[in-house]
Structure 1
Amino acid sequence: MSRSLLLSPRWRKVWADLAGNKLRTLLVVLSITVGVFAVGMVYSSYLMFQRDLAGSWGAASPADVSLYADPFDEELIDSIRSLRGVREADGRFNADVRVRTAGGEWRQMWLTAIPDYIKQKVNVVRPESGSWPPGDGDVLLERSSVTQLGMVEGSRILVETAAGNKRLLKITGIVYDSSQLPSLFSGRAYGYIDMDTLEKLDEERRLNQVNLVVEPWVLQGKEKAPIEAVGRRAFSKLEQGNTTVTWFLVNKPGEHLMHGPISAILLLLAVMGVLSLLLSTFLLVNTVAAILTQQVRQLGIMKAIGAQRNQLLRMYLTLVGAYGILALVVAAPLGALAASALTGFMAGMFNFDSGGLEFPGRVLLLETAVALGGPLAAALWPVWQGTGRTVREAISDYGIGGVVPGGRFDRCLDAGLAKLKELPRPVVLSLRNTFRQRGRLVLTLLTLTMAGTAFMAVFSLRAALYAGLEQTLDYYRYDVMVQFTESYRTNRIDQAVMRVPGVKAAEVWGYTPGRILRDERKESENAASSEVTVLAPPVDTEIIRPVIRSGRWLVPGDENALVVDTTTVNDNPQLTVGAPAVVKIGDHKLRLTVVGIAQGVLEGTYVYAPYGWLSGAIQEAGRARSVQIVATDSAPQAQKTLGRAVDEHLKRQGLKVKRVTPVFETKQRIQQRNGILIAFLLIMVVLLAVVGALGLAGSLGLNVLERTREIGVMRAIGASSLDIARVFVLEALCIGLISWLAGALLAVPMAALLAHQVGLLFFHYPLDFYFSFTGVGIWLGVSVTLSLLASLLPAWNAARMSVREVLNYE
């Protein structure tokens, strides 16, 4: 016996509605699945990000304060541990060296020596493979550096020390250090050695960094001030030990190093989730209303044979609930898998551990609420209206009574269409049918318009990102940068560089690390300050093109003038145009005035001062620490070759080279970072296009099903199959074009808002607004294509039915 025969009549009808009309069931389930999937993926991704970031960051016992100083003895660490408010402190030594990659290029590397790898307490480095801890002459590579260097375990790397000597180290393992910026973002590699190996690299067996964690009672939410107070005591303790602190860094409690980029991505995720949920909600209201309208006469018949309103309510709400359960079964696992894939991808980019697939109970509860609560809420009013009709009203309804014009809009529309006598009759009928049921049209347009708005806004954000990237890359008008370990006379540097074949021009700059102090008071040196790189180009330089966001660039005659970049301003909001700035360089405390704010170039924190004034202020007049070279051939391989030639020639001339950087490598890193966000935006665009496609297909597909009997009337009076198909295709195209136009208008403010917020989160300055007409054109093509696909097949199938079959359709 069939299982359906065991059910009561009304539940058999529910089963028949589900199984008997498979196309409608598929469309409704897909409509609900869209919203459930989007919500599940976004919320799961958010929770997985939180879980994995907190796990990776917390497992390392991250430092609340880091102090970098001139070399000091290990005994100072014990005295810092005894300070009030300090829970734990560790010391280490960082050697800034150069390493030869597998491709033969020299890259910067930070080799860290830790006195005792087994007893680490702060910024803990964890082994992943190979030997542990490193032995004498061995090095462990941080996992984000492996790809950058192209090295594997067991191979040997050639290291050049600060003194210019070369040493071979054996790679014996891979480690993970969550306290370091990924090599992709920092541009440097990381390695870990023991103290014996440190001595072989021409360094003292001492420490130059302190990392400390404060006691829990010091922490006050996200406030940094209480942590700074403890850090100042450690600062003073180091200075009492006859060492000079060069950098004092206070971390925001619980905030990962990549907080800014990850926040930008989470913002985009949230926008996508909200939009997808709204799209799904509008689609559900439209879908349920269409189903009830289609079954009005069935409601009248059931009422005529004794059905009560509460029974009909339960029956139709159960049907809607069944749709929601089917959607939940499909969307929940897909959302979890998509979230896991997204989190794994981001973990690889931002160098944190991915915990893999997880199906949190709260996500399932939210998905269940969306899958059941949303459809039921959307269905309640249409069901209540539909079940409230009298038997006479319901049975006499043929689904086409609304065609009779009754309002001013209808009369104006009909008058306008009457003037278009040259249009074929099917076209006029399509235009009239488009506005026949305006409530349903509004919901359909809302769905399509929101999808189109988001699609075009994301393309505009992508255009803004590319424009910002071009501005950043245009900053570099030179091809190779050379830094020296000490200052040399400018004419000596210039003469040596110009003798190298392939050098077209050279410009000597001041280049030195510094710190931004809060004010001129002595105690401000002990406060948290920002490390910056002070560049001192000639004021008439033409080999860089900074983008000035406010104020001006350096001009001839400037003395204590300073231009700061947006990254510096983000750390030091007091640095506005016209404000004073105190910069400490070595033992010199310089008082300057901010004259301009330049766009950051994503490669560090830079401030600019005029060479002539700065070199005299730090007692290096006529001397410099870097040279920027313009090559006769700017091709990447030519830059590499020239960089190696300059490096070797300068060393033969007795100049100690610290770093040689072909500019194309810097540009490549910047492009890779932007590529992460742009790739994520493209994923978002595809998902929004899918949402729009499902919304349009569901709405128009149900619209065609509802009007099947109308098709029969048209066939009965002589309409051909092609004429019938054309009516529905043109109607769909009309809806698609209206939604496209409305979406294009709304995309302008939404794109501007996204450019502002994403720019602040990712780059520390609002992106310039660019409207993408490419995105407008693409969405026009998408709208037309989706309209055709959503309407053509159902309309064609209905047009092929016989007159008798169509008129008997319920």
Structure 2
Amino acid sequence: MADRAHLAPRWRKVWADLADNKLRTLLVVLSISVGVFAVGMIYSSYLMFERDLDRSWRAALPASATLYADPFDEELVASIRSLRGVKEADGRRNVDLRVRGAGGEWKQMFLTAIPDYHKQKVNVIRPQSGAWPPGDGDVLIERSSLDALGVTQGGSITVETPTGRSRTLKVTGVVYDPSQIPSMFIGRYYGYINMDTLEKLDEPRRLDQVNFVVEPWVLKGKDTAPIEAIGRRAWTKLEQGDTTVFWLQVNKPGEHQLQGAINAMLLLLAVLGALSLCLGTFLLINTVSAILTQQVRQIGIMKAIGARREQILSLYLALVGAFGVLSLIVAAPLGALAADAVTRFMAGIFNFDSGGLELPPRVLLLEAAVAILVPLAAALYPVWRGTGVTVREAVSDYGIGGVEARGRVDRWVDAALQRLGKLKRPVLLSLRNTFRRKGRLALTLLTLTVAGTVFMAVFAVRSSLYSTLDQALEYFRYDISITFTQNYRSSRIEQEVARVPGVKAVEPWGFTSGRILKADTRQAEDEASKNVFILAPPIDTKMVQPRIVKGRWLVPGDESALVVNTEVIKDAPGIVVGGPAIIKTGNRRLKFTVVGIVQSTMTGPLAYAPYDWLSGAIQESGRSRSVQVVAASSQPEDQSALGRALEEHLKNNSLRVQQVDITWEAKQRIRAQFDIITTFLLIMAVLLAVVGALGLTGTMGINVLERTREIGVMRAIGASSLEIGRVFVVEALCIGLISWLAGALLALPVAALLSYQVGVLFLQSPLAFSFSFLGVGIWLALSAGLSVIASLLPAYNAARLSVRDVLSYE
């Protein structure tokens, strides 16, 4: 008290309200801190992402575009470098092979050979530690792959060459390649070798990738069309060098290749911050109402001795401001630490350098505004309303009453309770008290309902992501896909695959890639044309289950027929069923008639042509580039073992395998990527659930204060502590169940909207919506559990009240 003696009476009261009811102060500070923490964390994360991602990306001198092709000589890179508008161009060679991990299992690895590490001009790889550049027979491991592979600098890795032979490479260093999607995200591992090492891996000293950067005058903002135009001319240069080009990848100027995914996650974090702030505000309104309810007699006494309403108003607003300052002290450093942790986590996922902890002044100013100004604005109405009580109303307040049915809702509740007459009287009292303060109930229900809606919607998004993945992989009805480095006779491929035990069905497919032209002219090759992969399965294939959108599928007798998926239509909207399609592949222009359009799901632009006609048109009659296999066993482990056995058998029989894709393993890798998205959404839901539980605790605390004299009456007529506590626990449980029901009803449209937005942001197309009843069930259990937990302390406080305590209640 000595510390307060020098304060004016009104400020002594503010201090007493802060210090004498520590639990209430903690509740209010927590309610404000949640919103301040979320806003500070998200804004700081955004600023650090912007700073660190841009710094790492630009330091790598990222490519404007990349061309992938069959192996070619280094002279072709010089021809691309000489194109007008090209500033720099570098060539590389990529070898896709298997590497033995620390646990002895084989994993997929991407080894890249660079002609001269000292003269890199595009997609620059930087040394982190160890030797530089790699020596003959050495490998440098990309830092995102180091831990996943379980290797250390100075150790070695064992790789299997495309011909099936094992080679040991010494790990002499660690490098950083910002242009690669990190291993944690994609499930593939990266290493870097010199051109001499290629020969040890049974590969020729040739390139298969060109990265180029355009001149600044070519660029027109974020528009990729000027880059695409130069990319098409570079494509033609490679084709003139007698090589087949598979793909042209164009990057948006100045943006990380995963910028869309990063923006989507930042958007999700922003939604988290906004919801946390709103729900924290509702919680604050309830808590301020509790203070005013408890101190209604104090307000009456202050007015009786001459205090004006404005003076009392300033007193309570000063109290709210003090709560805000305390919240800022708590939340600002925690928000900065959380932002640093989020940035480091995101840096690991997206493979960029984190610049470390920072708390910019603009973030601190925003947090101060959220901590002080928002609570003051939110508290203004309840404080104005609470301080408007008259002296007579204040001194005659006994905390009892308001139980009569005044409105339609009250009459409905009373009528419903009369039909439940068999229930025990304390339970009926709990149910009636639930609807006693409808305004307070609405705010509490809103907080819990929003938390529940988001939680259940997150599970629906997760289910939709998995459903989309299942549809994408069921599109192709095979278990294993094997791609070769070149075309081989189909009969030979089929014969060799059939020799391996465990194979149920085999289909060799033709394959090529090209560009869709607007017209059959030389000029059209330099105009708008799009990438497309052409698959040529047998006409009677059982390994594709297309969903026809328009037209039909391939039938016997088709020759130059073509079926395209919706991704092709998106890129080339001029293509229609019954119309022509001209595709340039190599030095040939193939003329097709489009007979059908099929739905695309996570497959990119694909077209399907009859095998016999296409293989003849590209002068590869009777030859195939890939084979699709159905396993006799449906067990994932058996399919993986079969894939490895097929790869080894084909390599031992001089069929050079480029890649083996096992469907269920691909599914697991993609699910791991999806889990990153759902983890962020789940964090959002859990934080909102915490806010909702705090709100319910505050509401039940207010109810105990308002009903102090009622509790005394119950005590006087013989109610036990357990019965009194049970009244408040059942009331909280009732609120939790109502919020669950409201959340379940809202979750369906919210989940549909959220699934649509997540699909567009991450996959550039809406997800196949699937509602999760598992999420509904989990939230039912959580809402019941949180309600009981939130009510325990208020119920305990109520049960502790004696008749003497009640009679002395002010």
TM over 0.5: yes
Q: Aligned partner of 1:714: which letter?
A: M
Give the Å deviation of 1:475. Answer: 4.3
- Partners in 2 of 1:400 and 1:689 — Cα distance? 32
C-alpha distance in 2, partners of 1:586/1:229?
18
> CA 1:628–1:411 in 2, change beyond 3 Å: closer, same or farther?
closer
Q: Relative to structure 1, is the Cα distance of residues 153 and 708 closer, same or farther in structure 2, using a 3 angstrom cutoff?
A: same
Structure 1 unaligned spans of 5+? none
The match for 2:440 is: 440
Instruction: Give the superposition deviation at 1:203.
Output: 6.2
Q: Does residue 600 of structure 1 match 2:601? A: yes
Native 8 Å contact 1:11 1:315 kept in 2: yes
Q: How far is the alpha carbon of 1:205 from its aligned partner?
A: 5.7
Counterpart in the other structure of 2:100: 101
TM-score, normalised on structure 1?
0.90
1:770 equivalenced with 2:770 (yes/no): yes
What SS does the aligned partner of 1:538 have? coil
| TM superposition shift of 1:299 | 0.9
Structure 1: distance between partners of 2:555 and 2:182? 37
Q: Give the stretch that moved more between structures: 626-635 or 449-458.
A: 626-635
Q: In 2, distance between residues paired with 1:173 and 1:575?
A: 50
SS in 1 for 2:332: helix
The equivalent of 1:347 in structure 2 is 347
Asked whether the 8 Å contact 1:92–1:112 carries over to 2, the reply is no
Q: Aligned AA for 1:452?
A: G
Contact kept? 1:14, 1:316, Cα under 8 Å: yes
Give, in angstroms, the shift of residue 401 of structure 1. 4.7
**Aligned-partner residue type, residue 60 of structure 2:** A
TM superposition shift of 1:546? 4.9
Q: Distance in 1 between matches of 2:235 and 2:469?
A: 39
Structure 2 counterpart of 1:377: 377
Alpha carbons of 1:549 and 1:784: their partners in 2 closer, same or farther (altered >3 Å)? farther
Q: Which amino acid aligns with 1:336?
A: A
Alignment of 1:100-119 (within 5 A): 100-102=99-101, 109-119=109-119
Separation in structure 1 between the aligned mates of residue 42 and residue 218 of structure 2, nearest angstrom: 35
Write the distance in 1 (CA, Å) between the matches of 2:473 and 2:84. 48
Structure 1 position 298, deviation (Å) = 0.8
State the 1:125 CA deviation: 0.8
Instruction: Provide the aligned C-alpha RMSD in A.
Output: 3.3
Q: Match of 1:505?
A: 505
Tell me the alpha carbon deviations over residues 392-421 of structure 1, each in whole angstroms, 9 at most, x when there is no partner: 333333344544444444445445545654
Q: 1:497 to 1:798 in 2, by over 3 A?
A: closer
1:14 to partner: Cα distance: 0.9
Instruction: Map 1:461-610 to 2 at 5 A.
Output: 461-475=461-475, 477-527=477-527, 529-546=529-546, 553-565=553-565, 581-592=581-592, 593=594, 595-601=596-602, 606-610=606-610
CA contact (8 A) 2:299 2:394 kept: yes
Residues 105 and 640 of structure 1 are in contact (CA less than 8 Å); yes or no, is this contact kept in structure 2? Answer: no
Tell me, yes or no, if the aligned pair for 2:60 and 2:124 is still in contact at 8 Å: yes
The alpha-carbon distance between structure 1 residues 558 and 675, as it changes in their structure 2 partners (threshold 3 A), is farther
1:705-724 correspondence to structure 2 within 5 Å: 705-724=705-724
CA contact (8 A) 2:468 2:601 kept: no
Task: Name the CA distance, whole Å, in 1 between partners of 2:178 and 2:796.
Answer: 59
1-side partners of 2:579 and 2:800: how far apart? 78
2:154/2:172 contact within 8 Å kept: yes
Pairwise CA distance, 1:252:
0.9
Aligned position for 2:271: 271
CA, structure 1 residues 524+271, in 2 after alignment: closer, same or farther (shift >3 Å)? Answer: farther
Give the counterpart letter for 2:307 in structure 1: A
- CA 1:397 to 1:83, structure 2 compared with 1: closer, same or farther past 3 Å? same
2:647 equivalent in structure 1: 647
Shift of 1:302: 0.9
Q: Which range moved further: 316-325 or 793-802?
A: 793-802
Residue 537 of structure 1 and its aligned partner are, at CA, apart by: 1.8
Summarize the Cα distance change of 1:524–1:804 in structure 2 as closer, same or farther, 3 Å threshold: farther
The Cα shift of 1:20 comes to 1.1
SS of structure 2 residue aligned to 1:96: strand
**Residue type at the aligned position of 2:671:** Q
**1:371, CA displacement in angstroms?**
1.5
Letter in 2 for 1:597: V
Structure 1 residues 347-356 or 172-181, which shifts more?
347-356
Aligned to 1:91: 90
Task: Measure, in 1, the Cα distance between the counterparts of 2:625 and 2:234.
Answer: 31
**Aligned partners of 1:549 and 1:599 also within 8 Å:** no
| Contact map agreement 1:98 1:106 (CA 8 A) in 2 | no
Which deviates further from its counterpart, 664-673 or 76-85?
A: 76-85
Shift of 1:318: 1.1
Contact persistence 1:44–1:336 (CA under 8 A):
yes
- Post-superposition Cα deviations, 1:350-402, rounded to whole Å, max 9, x if no partner, equal 32323343323333222222211221111111112222333333333334454
* Structure 1 CA distance for aligned equivalents of residues 653 and 196 of structure 2: 32
Task: Quote the Cα distance in structure 1 between the aligned partners of 2:4 and 2:621.
Answer: 95
Q: For the structure 1 residues 71 and 734, does the alpha-carbon distance in structure 2 shift closer, same or farther, using more than 3 Å as the test?
A: closer
1:124 is matched with which residue? Answer: 124
In the alignment, the residues of structure 2 paired with residue 336 and residue 161 of structure 1 have an alpha-carbon distance, to the nearest angstrom, of 48
Report the counterpart of residue 679 of structure 2 in structure 1.
Answer: 679
Q: What residue is the counterpart of 2:322 in the other structure?
A: 322
CA drift of 1:606 comes to 3.9
Which of 753-762 and 493-502 deviates more?
493-502
The match for 1:36 is 36
Alpha-carbon distance in structure 2 between the residues aligned to 1:711 and 1:461 = 46
| 1:506-556 residue CA offsets vs partner (Å, 9 max, x unmatched) | 222113333444554433433565444332222432334456677655444
Q: What SS class does the counterpart of residue 658 from structure 2 fall into?
A: strand
The code of the aligned residue for 2:697 comes to: A
5 Å-filtered alignment, 1:63-462, equals 63-68=63-68, 85-86=85-86, 88-102=87-101, 109-146=109-146, 149-157=149-157, 168-183=168-183, 188-198=188-198, 209-231=209-231, 247-418=247-418, 420-462=420-462
Separation in 2, partners of 1:576, 1:705: 72
Per the alignment, residue 808 of structure 1 pairs with 808
Q: In structure 2, the residue corresponding to 1:118 is in which secondary structure?
A: helix
Can you give the 5+ residue segments of structure 2 that lack an aligned partner in the other structure?
A: none
CA deviation after TM superposition for structure 1 residue 309, in Å: 2.6
Supply the distance in 2 between the matched residues of 1:260 and 1:130 (Cα, whole angstroms): 34
- Take 1:305 and 1:349, find their aligned partners in 2: how far apart are those partners? 65
Moved more, 187-196 or 121-130: 187-196
Alpha-carbon displacement from aligned partner over 1:28-71 (angstroms, at most 9, x marks no partner): 22222222222233333333333332222122121123344677
Distance 1:771 1:600 in 2: 19
What SS is found at the alignment partner of 2:5? helix
Q: Distance in 2 between matches of 1:422 and 1:644?
A: 68
* Rounded Cα–Cα distance in structure 2 between residues aligned with 1:703 and 1:60: 61
Give the SS at the match of 1:783.
helix
Shift of 1:784: 1.9
Q: Distance in 2 between matches of 1:241 and 1:587?
A: 10
- In the alignment, the residues of structure 2 paired with residue 346 and residue 565 of structure 1 have an alpha-carbon distance, to the nearest angstrom, of 34
Q: Is the 8 A contact 1:85 1:230 kept in 2?
A: yes
SS of the aligned residue for 1:505 comes to strand
* Residues 482, 659 of structure 1: 8 Å contact kept: yes
Q: Counterpart of 2:702 in structure 1: which amino acid?
A: L
Is the partner of 1:447 in helix, strand or coil?
A: helix
1:85–1:215 Cα contact (<8 Å) kept:
yes
For the residues of structure 2 that align with 1:521 and 1:448, how far apart are their CA atoms? 64
- Deviating more after overlay: 187-196 vs 4-13: 187-196
Aligned partner of residue 97 in structure 2, secondary structure = strand
State the partner residue of 2:53.
53
Task: For residue 483 of structure 1, give the secondary structure of its aligned residue in structure 2.
Answer: strand
Alpha-carbon distance between aligned partners in 1 of 2:474 and 2:654, rounded to the nearest angstrom: 33
Shift of 1:735: 1.9
Contact 1:303 1:391 survives alignment (8 Å): yes
* Percent identical residues: 67
Letter in 2 for 1:466: Y
What is the CA distance between 1:731 and its match in structure 2?
Answer: 2.2
Note closer, same or farther for the CA distance 1:304–1:558 as it changes in structure 2 (3 Å cut): farther
CA distance in 1, matches of 2:537, 2:256: 34
Tell me, yes or no, if the aligned pair for 1:451 and 1:689 is still in contact at 8 Å: yes
TM-score with structure 2 setting the length: 0.90
Superimposed CA distance per residue, residues 707-743 of structure 1 (whole angstroms, 9 cap, x where no aligned partner): 3233224333443333322332232222222222211
